[in-house]
Every structure is written in C-alpha cells, then in structure tokens.
C-alpha cells in the first residue's frame, strides 16, 4: 500500500548517506501479527469483516502504543487513530469517495456492491466523512487517501530514516535544531 512512499523514503535516506546497520527491536510484534491474521480472516469471512477489521485496528494501535518511544511510531499512531475513528464509526469499513475513486484504474465493483472487505461507498449517511478516503493522490501510485493516511506516510518516511540510521526528530525540528542525534 505504501510501497511508493517507502521507496521514496529509502532514496531520500540513501541520499542523506544512510545505511541499514541493524534492525530495530520492536515490542509486542504479536499484536501486529494478530492484526494481519484478522485482516486475512476479514477477506475470507465477509459477513464478519467489519468486526475483524475493527479489532485489527485496535491491535495495531496497541502495537504503536507499546513502541511509542520512537517519534515515527507516534506519528503512525495519530494516523492510525484517525483512520480507526472513521472505520469504527462506519461498521468496520473505510468509506471511499466514489467521485475521487472513479479516477483510479481499479475495478470499483466490489466496493459498490459491498463485497470489498475493507471499503464501502461514502454516502450522506457515513459518519465522520472528513476522516474517510476523500483525497485523490495522483502520484506516484494513484490512490484515494484519508487525512490519517497523510500521517501514516509521514510516519513511514520517518521510520525509514531511522532504519537507515539517519533519524529525523520532528521535536528537534520544532525547537530549531536540524537533525536528531542518533539513538
């Protein structure tokens, strides 16, 4: 899903002289695995997909909370939380704006007839519409994203910089310092 963002982040990190030396240790990886399993289950048991996806989002949020000592994880947390709000209040599916989605080269049939396990059509009845997938992003891979996704992309970018040993601290940027000291 974030393939282009991650590739772009890697290129930036490489240009900044970053190299992967060691992978960071994440805590409670089980939560992440659990969430993936739930999402797979959602694809197979469409009747219960809303519940599976809603719980999967709780698990991922839990994973971010346990790894919150890193700024990238906290930015992920904000993004995931905003998306989760949209999903939880819309029966476990992320509404997508058809007007924007029609510009995508994908088949929207499953979304329209309700068989897509993750997305539903954004209607007047949808809750928190401003947090759903309403922004058309033309490149690098065209997609319709939500405001939460903007944070997730930023989090992914920061995570890659940290993986490549060139972390950027947003807080230090805010304090007028250029880059984070290496952890």
Partner 1 sequence: MQPKTSLRRIAKGTVVQFGFVLGAILIIYSSFFDWQSRDHWGVLSAYTLLTILSTFTPVRLSNTILTVNNAVIFSGILLFGTSVGVWCAVIEALIISSLTRVNVIKAAVNIGQLVMTIWTVGFLKDWIVSINAISPILADLFLAVVYWLVNLILCGLGISYFYNKGWIETVKEMAKGFTSTYLLLMVLAGVGSRLVESHGLLTLIPMMIAFITISYVFHQYYSNVQKLQQKVEEIKTFNHRFLTTMAASIDARDHYTSGHSQRVAHWAREIAKAIGLSSEKVEEVYFGGILHDIGKIGIEDRILNKKGKLTPEEYDQIKQHTVIGYDIILQAGMFHELLPAIRSHHERMDGKGYPDGLKGEDIPLMARILAISDAFDAMVADRPYRKGLPVEDALQEIRRGAGTQFDSELAQHFIRVVNQLSREELEKIIQQDGHETKQLQEVID
Judged by the rule CB under 8 A, the positions of this chain that interact with partner 1 are 71, 74-75, 77-78, 129-130, 134-135, 147, 150-151, 154, 170-171, 173-176
**Of 48 and 81, which has the nearer Cβ to partner 1?**
81
Please, is 51 exposed, middle or buried when counting C-beta atoms within 10 Å of its C-beta (0-12, 13-18, 19+)? middle
**Of 9 and 49, which has the nearer Cβ to partner 1?**
9
User: DSSP string of 33-70?
Assistant: HHHHHHHHHHHH-GGGHHHHHHHHHHHHHHHHHHTTTS
Task: Kindly state the DSSP code that residue 129 receives in the 8-state scheme.
Answer: G
**Of 38 and 153, which has the nearer Cβ to partner 1?**
153
Q: Is the CB of residue 114 less than 8 Å from the CB of residue 120?
A: yes
Minimum CB–partner distance for residue 130 and partner 1 (Å): 5
Minimum CB–partner distance for residue 20 and partner 1 (Å): 25
Minimum CB–partner distance for residue 15 and partner 1 (Å): 20
């Amino acid at each position: 899903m974030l393939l282009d963002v991650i590739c772009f982040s890697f290129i930036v990190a490489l240009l900044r002289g970053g190299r992967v030396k060691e992978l960071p240790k994440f805590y409670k990886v089980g939560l992440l695995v659990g969430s993936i399993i739930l999402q797979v289950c959602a694809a197979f048991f469409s009747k219960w997909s809303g519940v599976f996806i809603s719980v999967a989002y709780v698990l991922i949020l839990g994973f971010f909370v346990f790894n919150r000592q890193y700024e990238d994880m906290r930015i992920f947390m904000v993004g995931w939380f905003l998306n989760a709000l949209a999903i939880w209040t819309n029966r476990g599916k992320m509404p997508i704006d058809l007007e924007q989605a029609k510009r995508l080269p994908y088949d929207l049939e499953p979304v329209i007839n309700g068989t897509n396990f993750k997305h539903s059509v954004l209607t007047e009845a949808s809750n928190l519409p401003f947090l759903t997938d309403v922004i058309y992003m033309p490149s690098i891979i065209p997609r319709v994203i939500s405001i939460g996704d903007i944070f997730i992309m930023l989090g992914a970018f920061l995570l890659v910089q940290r993986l490549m040993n060139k972390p950027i601290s947003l807080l230090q940027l805010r304090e007028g310092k250029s880059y984070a000291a290496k952890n």
